[in-house]
């Protein structure tokens, strides 16, 4: 700084401009250099003027003193601030690459040993080199999603401008959003590739800490997106195809960016890009994060480098949201489907640009040439389209994303891990439920007294409501006893059982038993134990009432069908004619009838049985007709003796079943079946039904093996053979032939589901 005091007496008649004019122009005056060296003063009427000369800031212009006109990219390349680094980037080893580093260290040690000793270690070096190359291939051909994320974020990975200066013949960077700002995180400019002019727009990361701070780590502000928008309008006006390079973790999310309209700037870009009349190609060269990437990514074609990633949220952010820890990022990266091959299968990415083994940073020049070839190939396809077709192509690319098919069958393998739909249970207050239960009980009692049907719809609705209430009470009891987490984990283990036709392994079964025992012990201490017990009792009572009602209704239907058949004219005529023939024959027993009449009786019987079976099948019942040949009953085959034999056989079978059920193996199966039914709930899925059926089948098989013995089998076959003879013996030996041969109702066994049966 220099202080100057000018005196009017010393320079009378000299103007200020003359005083400050340089002497180098041939005009007399005081040089500025002199003013800077020696202070002086000019007094005028006792007034002084003070001034300070401030040293100006030196601007760092990129233009050199002697620019080379033959430089690659043209002389205007000197205007770019992006220069080769003075120091080579330090190698960075990722965690999963450490095995390669160990092999590389061995190679260096062997080479050093060869140089120091002068011995020939060429075979060992070649062996290690081959081993290194094989390990490199094995590693980079089987990368996990999180490993690709780390490669995409590699500090030495080539940036947008690295690729631009490698693939373009000429490139001129354009700056500013015409609102007074120029965001260095987004670089735009015009360049040529093989004499084709393009508008290049890309997100630029730094190659070192200083550059990363200057480029804001590749996270653009609203100014950057508005600069990109201005260049898109410029390219659209002049007909330049647009190529965008995506490499950002996301738009900058600080307070200032939000105040300046970050979301509006991104949305404006999205809307504008769909209306541009020039071809657009986007290339993801690193990581493409969320809307910050999409703001310059609404293109006709989206290409990705082999190890690039494209996501709506980073794996770390996703893991922190879903699993409450960033350590779950490998799992999140796998579930997000963010790698190039997965996005190609989802039709989000239109092509993959290969990278060398080791990633793009292993050979940046080769990677750039692959990008150049991909741009030329894609632009050849897009430039052949007219404007209307180009716009429709771009619209269709995004309209087809996330397509779905209604009522499509889900692959069972995928369905195993699908989250089950959360069902909201609306519980009824206890007082209201008790009132409904008492009201329904009164209706059932009145129906019983008047020998009418109970209210079936009300009964059915009440059972369904009670089932939901019981399920809800059990859930609350499990929460209250602190066993919910263990139950959820156990359910997950059970769902992973691969085979549906086999029982679970003993370890899981033991866990189920322990959890069941612990729950049984703690259930009485649950706050809702009394409510749960009341609802369970009501459910059992109403279920029993419904079963009795269904059985009575079914019996009425069966009797009705039987009466309909027996009242048919043709059946009546046959029976009357047969009855007359038997009476005319004068025989006193079935055995005395001649063979022709015996056949007629049996054929008529069979015909009526078939009619009855057909009628019962029409109402949805499974019917087993018991066939028999009528024989003369001996004294030892009388109905009373036969009944005693049947009772004895039933007792023997009952004992065998009790012994079998008492065994530990069958007990475990039955408990497992109960647990599976409880876990399946009111609406079991296909997998649960299959498991329940498999367990039921095994239980039946074990029971069959337990009760079938040689003695019981012989006794059963003997009783089966004489069964039809007992049916013929309807009125006793003292009754007339008319009563003996009177047509009796056929014995039919009707299976109602798995556990019910009705005999008519």
**Owner of token pair 């929460």:** 479
CATH number of the domain residue 343 falls in: 3.90.226.10
Rg over CA atoms, the chain: 47
- Reported as a pLDDT band with limits 50, 70 and 90, residue 746 is very low
- Reported as a pLDDT band with limits 50, 70 and 90, residue 238 is very high
More confident residue, 237 or 603: 237
The whole-number pLDDT of residue 529 equals 84
The whole-number pLDDT of residue 260 equals 92
The 10 Å Cβ neighbour count of residue 6 is 20
Is the pLDDT assigned to residue 96 strictly greater than 80? yes
**Stretch 181-203: mean pLDDT:** 94
The whole-number pLDDT of residue 633 equals 44
**Stretch 527-535: mean pLDDT:** 85
Per the domain annotation, does 714 fall within a domain?
no
The whole-number pLDDT of residue 520 equals 86
Is the pLDDT assigned to residue 109 strictly greater than 70? yes
Is the pLDDT assigned to residue 648 strictly greater than 80? no
325 lies in the same domain as 244: yes
537 lies in the same domain as 556: no
- Reported as a pLDDT band with limits 50, 70 and 90, residue 355 is very high
More confident residue, 248 or 559: 248
Residue-number span of the structural domain to which 695 is assigned: 648-705
Residue 625: its H or E element: strand 622-625
Would you give the DSSP letter of residue 312?
S
Highest-scoring range by mean pLDDT, 119-133, 167-181, 699-713, 727-741? 167-181
CA distance 578 to 581: 5
Which regions of 272-415 does DSSP assign to beta strands (E)?
280-289, 301-305, 309-311, 351-353
Q: Which of 22-36, 321-335, 342-356, 428-442 has the lowest mean pLDDT?
A: 22-36
373 lies in the same domain as 228: yes
Is the pLDDT assigned to residue 123 strictly greater than 70? yes
Q: Which of 23-37, 270-284, 414-428, 566-580 has the lowest mean pLDDT?
A: 23-37
SS3 label, residue 579: helix
Contact 513, 499 (CB under 8 A): no
The whole-number pLDDT of residue 743 equals 35
The torsion region of residue 651 among left (phi > 0), alpha (psi -120 to 50) and beta comes to: alpha
310 lies in the same domain as 257: yes
Highest-scoring range by mean pLDDT, 442-446, 475-479, 597-601? 475-479
The 10 Å Cβ neighbour count of residue 354 is 12
Is the pLDDT assigned to residue 12 strictly greater than 50? no
As beta bridge partners, residue 52 has: 3
SS3 label, residue 758: strand
CA distances in angstroms from 437 to 157, 442, 455, 482, 541, listed in the order given? 73, 9, 13, 31, 11
CA distance 290 to 309: 11
The whole-number pLDDT of residue 9 equals 41
Which regions of 328-370 does DSSP assign to beta strands (E)?
351-353
Per the domain annotation, does 57 fall within a domain?
no
Contact 220, 195 (CB under 8 A): no
For residue 11 the two structure tokens come to 């320079």
CA distance 743 to 574: 11
The whole-number pLDDT of residue 426 equals 58
More confident residue, 160 or 402: 160
Report the domain count for the chain: 5
Is the pLDDT assigned to residue 331 strictly greater than 60? yes
Per the domain annotation, does 29 fall within a domain?
no
Mean per-residue pLDDT over the chain, rounded: 77
484 lies in the same domain as 442: yes
Contact 103, 128 (CB under 8 A): yes
161 lies in the same domain as 127: no
Per the domain annotation, does 55 fall within a domain?
no
260 lies in the same domain as 317: yes
The percent of residues in the chain predicted with pLDDT above 70, rounded, is 74
More confident residue, 568 or 5: 568
534 lies in the same domain as 557: no
Best CA proximity match to 113, nearest among 125, 129, 100: 125
Is the pLDDT assigned to residue 505 strictly greater than 70? no
Per the domain annotation, does 675 fall within a domain?
yes
226 lies in the same domain as 292: yes
Per the domain annotation, does 28 fall within a domain?
no
CA distance 669 to 698: 8
The percent of residues in the chain predicted with pLDDT above 90, rounded, is 29
Residue environment code for 644-679, b if the CB has 16+ CB neighbours within 10 A, otherwise e: eeeeeeeebbeebeeebeeeeebebbeebbebbeeb
Is the pLDDT assigned to residue 419 strictly greater than 60? no
The whole-number pLDDT of residue 73 equals 65
- Reported as a pLDDT band with limits 50, 70 and 90, residue 240 is very high
- Reported as a pLDDT band with limits 50, 70 and 90, residue 475 is confident
Helix axes 506-523, 484-495, angle to 10 degrees: 150
492 lies in the same domain as 613: no
CA distance 33 to 7: 19
**Owner of token pair 């209250």:** 480
More confident residue, 602 or 28: 602
Highest-scoring range by mean pLDDT, 341-350, 656-665, 684-693? 341-350
**Stretch 699-704: mean pLDDT:** 78
CA distance 493 to 518: 19
**Stretch 253-279: mean pLDDT:** 93
**Stretch 629-643: mean pLDDT:** 50
- Reported as a pLDDT band with limits 50, 70 and 90, residue 408 is low
Per the domain annotation, does 565 fall within a domain?
yes
Best CA proximity match to 756, nearest among 628, 580, 656, 622: 622
Q: Which of 16-30, 496-510, 524-538 has the lowest mean pLDDT?
A: 16-30
Would you give the DSSP letter of residue 3?
B
Q: What is the 3-state secondary structure (H, E, C) of 186-226?
A: EEEEEEEECCEEEEEEEECCCCCHHHHHHCHHHCCCHHHHH
The whole-number pLDDT of residue 744 equals 39
**Stretch 517-544: mean pLDDT:** 85
The whole-number pLDDT of residue 492 equals 76
The whole-number pLDDT of residue 184 equals 93
Contact 277, 236 (CB under 8 A): yes
533 lies in the same domain as 556: no
Domain C-terminal end among 87, 120, 142: 142
356 lies in the same domain as 296: yes
Is the pLDDT assigned to residue 623 strictly greater than 50? yes
Helix axes 456-480, 430-449, angle to 10 degrees: 150
Residue 622: its H or E element: strand 622-625
Is the pLDDT assigned to residue 490 strictly greater than 60? yes
Per the domain annotation, does 689 fall within a domain?
yes
Helix ranges (DSSP H) in 406-528: 412-415, 430-449, 456-480, 484-495, 506-523
**Stretch 479-483: mean pLDDT:** 86
CA distance 691 to 86: 69
């Amino acid at each position: 700084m220099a202080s100057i005091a000018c005196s009017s007496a010393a320079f009378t008649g000299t103007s200020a401009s003359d005083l400050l004019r340089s002497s180098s122009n041939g005009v007399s005056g005081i040089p500025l250099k002199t003013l800077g060296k020696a202070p002086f003063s000019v007094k005028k009427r006792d007034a002084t003027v003070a001034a300070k000369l401030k040293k100006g800031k030196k601007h760092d212009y990129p233009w050199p003193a002697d620019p080379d006109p033959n430089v690659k990219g043209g002389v205007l390349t000197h205007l770019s601030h992006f220069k080769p680094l003075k120091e080579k980037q330090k190698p960075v080893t990722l965690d999963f690459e450490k095995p390669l580093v160990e092999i590389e260290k061995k190679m260096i040690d062997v080479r050093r040993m060869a140089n120091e000793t002068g011995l020939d270690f060429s075979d060992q070096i070649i062996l290690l080199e081959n081993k290194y190359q094989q390990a490199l291939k094995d590693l980079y051909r089987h990368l996990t999603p999180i490993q690709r994320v780390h490669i995409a974020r590699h500090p030495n990975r080539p940036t947008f401008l690295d690729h631009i200066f490698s693939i373009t013949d000429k490139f001129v960077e354009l700056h500013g959003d015409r609102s007074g700002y120029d965001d260095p995180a987004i670089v735009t400019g015009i360049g040529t590739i093989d004499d084709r002019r393009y508008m290049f727009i890309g997100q630029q990361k730094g190659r070192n800490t200083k550059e990363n701070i200057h480029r804001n780590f590749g996270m653009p502000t609203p100014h950057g997106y508005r600069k990109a928008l201005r260049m898109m309008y410029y390219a659209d006006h002049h007909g330049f195809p647009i190529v965008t390079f995506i490499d950002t973790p996301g738009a900058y999310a600080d307070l200032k960016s939000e105040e300046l309209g970050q979301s509006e700037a991104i949305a404006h870009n999205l809307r504008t890009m769909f209306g541009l009349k020039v071809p657009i190609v986007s290339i993801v060269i690193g990581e493409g994060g969320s809307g910050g990437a999409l703001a310059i990514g609404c293109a006709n074609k989206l290409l990705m480098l082999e190890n690039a990633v494209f996501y709506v949220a980073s794996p770390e952010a996703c893991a922190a949201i879903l699993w409450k820890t960033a350590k779950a990022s490998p799992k999140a990266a796998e579930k997000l489907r963010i790698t190039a091959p997965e996005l190609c299968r989802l039709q989000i990415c239109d092509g993959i640009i290969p990278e060398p083994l080791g990633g793009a940073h292993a050979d940046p020049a080769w990677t750039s040439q692959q990008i150049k070839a991909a741009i030329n190939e894609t632009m050849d396809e897009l430039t052949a389209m007219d404007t209307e077709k180009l716009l429709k192509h771009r619209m269709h690319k995004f309209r087809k994303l996330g397509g779905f098919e209604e009522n499509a069958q889900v692959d069972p393998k995928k369905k195993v891990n699908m989250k089950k739909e959360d069902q909201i249970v609306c519980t009824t207050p206890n007082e209201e439920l008790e009132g409904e239960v008492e009201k329904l009980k009164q209706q059932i009692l009145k129906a019983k007294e008047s020998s009418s049907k109970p209210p079936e719809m009300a009964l059915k609705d009440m059972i369904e409501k009670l089932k939901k209430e019981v399920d809800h009470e059990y859930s609350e009891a499990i929460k209250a006893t602190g066993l919910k987490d263990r139950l959820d984990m156990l359910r997950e283990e059970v769902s992973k059982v691969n085979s549906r036709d086999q029982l679970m392994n003993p370890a899981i079964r033991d866990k189920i038993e322990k959890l069941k025992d612990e729950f049984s012990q703690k259930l009485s201490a649950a706050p809702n134990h009394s409510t749960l017990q009341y609802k369970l009792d009501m459910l059992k009572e109403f279920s029993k009432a419904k079963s009795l009602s269904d059985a009575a209704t079914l019996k009425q239907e069966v009797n009705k069908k039987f009466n309909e058949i027996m009242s048919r004219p043709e059946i009546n005529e046959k029976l009357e004619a047969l009855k007359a023939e038997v009476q005319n024959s004068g025989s006193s027993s079935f055995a005395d009838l001649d063979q022709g009449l015996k056949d007629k009786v049996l054929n008529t019987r069979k015909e009526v049985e078939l009619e009855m079976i057909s009628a019962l099948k029409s109402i949805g019942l499974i019917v087993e007709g018991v066939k028999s040949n009528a024989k003369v009953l001996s004294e030892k085959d009388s109905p009373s003796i036969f009944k005693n034999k049947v009772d004895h056989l039933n007792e023997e079978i009952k004992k065998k079943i009790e012994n079998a059920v008492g065994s530990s193996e069958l007990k475990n199966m039955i408990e497992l079946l109960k647990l599976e039914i409880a876990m399946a709930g009111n609406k079991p899925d296909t997998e649960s039904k299959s498991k329940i059926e498999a367990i039921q089948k095994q239980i039946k098989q074990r029971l069959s093996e337990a009760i079938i013995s040689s003695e019981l089998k012989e006794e059963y076959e003997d009783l089966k053979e004489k069964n039809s003879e007992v049916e013929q013996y309807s009125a006793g030996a003292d009754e007339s032939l008319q009563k003996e041969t009177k047509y009796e109702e056929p014995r039919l066994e009707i299976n109602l589901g798995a556990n019910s049966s009705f005999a008519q």
